[in-house]
Amino acid sequence: MELNKVWIITTREFREALRNKWLAAYAIGFSLLALALSRASLAAAGYSGLGGFGRTTASLINALLLFTPLLGLMVGAAALAGDRERGSLLYLLSQPVSRGEVFWGKVVGAILAASVALALGFGVAALALGASGGGDISAFIGLIGFTFLLMLACLGLGFLISSLARKAAAANGAALVLWLGLAFLGDLGIIGAVLKTNPSPGALLTMLVINPLQVFKLGAIYSLQATLDTLGAAGQYATFHFGERLPLLLGGLLCLWAAGTFSGAFALFNRRQDS
């Protein structure tokens, strides 16, 4: 695999992704929401500093649980299916490039484009918090790190969908359904399982970490240097058994999600004969 060919495809994919309406809508919406949450939380705190910072970051976690999976899924879903439907993917593969160069070039380009949208939103929030003169920079960086890992995991899921779909509309529809399942039905499923089976704290933690959004939530709350008691028995169990290793464990789980989904998408992409 030649890196210069990968980079050429990366730059092309980056430009294409920046023209994606979902990416533009996410960047604008997340930036406005981050600014609104920052100003509202700081005003509610009554003073600048850690109190306002904590309120803002906690509000951002809830917003990111909805925005970030949607961003990754929609950008990933459009990466291959759109080119396949237009015929440009077949034309690209007819050139002296390998499937690996095409696939990983598209992956890197999509990651860069999605990172730009995240950076814009976090930059607005950081400016608003910086103007207040307070906050814990390490906690904010931790939140950014977990958000980036969640974006990678969801982007990998989007590429899985895109590797299977023949048309962009079908890929986008499947991505929306999966987003609804992860963001809303996942929580309802856990609640239903708890009511029906009354699981132990360890079993409940296992059910939580199956969903990458729940892994992100645990890690983001921990990055605030707050206790996980707000998540009930599962949070207390995780803190007691893993202690300071918990962020590394949760980050590793998100990395495994990303590695597994991208690897699966690449395997499916290699096996297709029509592109």
Q: Please name the amino acid found at residue 133.
A: G
Residue 232: strand, helix, or coil: coil
In a domain, 78, yes or no: yes
State how far the Cα of 200 lies from the Cα of 274, in Å rounded to an integer. Answer: 48
State how far the Cα of 137 lies from the Cα of 130, in Å rounded to an integer. Answer: 10
In a domain, 240, yes or no: no
pLDDT at 155: 95
Q: Please name the amino acid found at residue 25.
A: A
In a domain, 189, yes or no: no
In a domain, 221, yes or no: no
In a domain, 196, yes or no: no
In a domain, 108, yes or no: yes
Measured CA to CA in angstroms, residue 140 lies from 18, 69, 85, 221, 269 at distances of 26, 19, 41, 11, 37
Q: What is the pTM of this model?
A: 0.84
State how far the Cα of 200 lies from the Cα of 190, in Å rounded to an integer. Answer: 13
pLDDT at 29: 81
Q: Please name the amino acid found at residue 234.
A: A
Strand segments, DSSP code E, in 35-161 are: none
The tokens of 83 are what?
């080119």
pLDDT at 18: 78
Range of the domain at 90: 3-181+262-271
* Residue 231 · residue 220 · CB < 8 Å: no
* Residue 17 · residue 65 · CB < 8 Å: no
Per-residue pLDDT of the chain (275 residues; tens, 9 = 90+): 778 888 888 988 888 877 777 777 887 887 787 777 666 655 554 444 434 455 666 677 888 888 889 889 988 888 888 888 888 888 888 888 888 888 999 999 999 999 988 888 888 777 766 665 555 677 778 888 999 999 999 999 999 999 988 888 898 899 999 998 888 766 666 666 666 666 665 666 676 677 888 888 888 877 776 555 556 556 666 666 666 777 788 889 899 999 999 999 999 998 876 55
pLDDT at 209: 72
Total domains in the chain come to: 1
pLDDT at 50: 39
The tokens of 238 are what?
């995780």
DSSP state of 96: S
Q: Select from 51, 34, 60 the least CA-distant residue to 127.
A: 34
The tokens of 157 are what?
């899921």
In a domain, 24, yes or no: yes
pLDDT at 266: 93
DSSP string, 106-164: HHHHHHHHHHHHHHHHHHHHHHHHHHHT---HHHHHHHHHHHHHHHHHHHHHHHHHHHH
Residue 137: strand, helix, or coil: helix
In a domain, 99, yes or no: yes
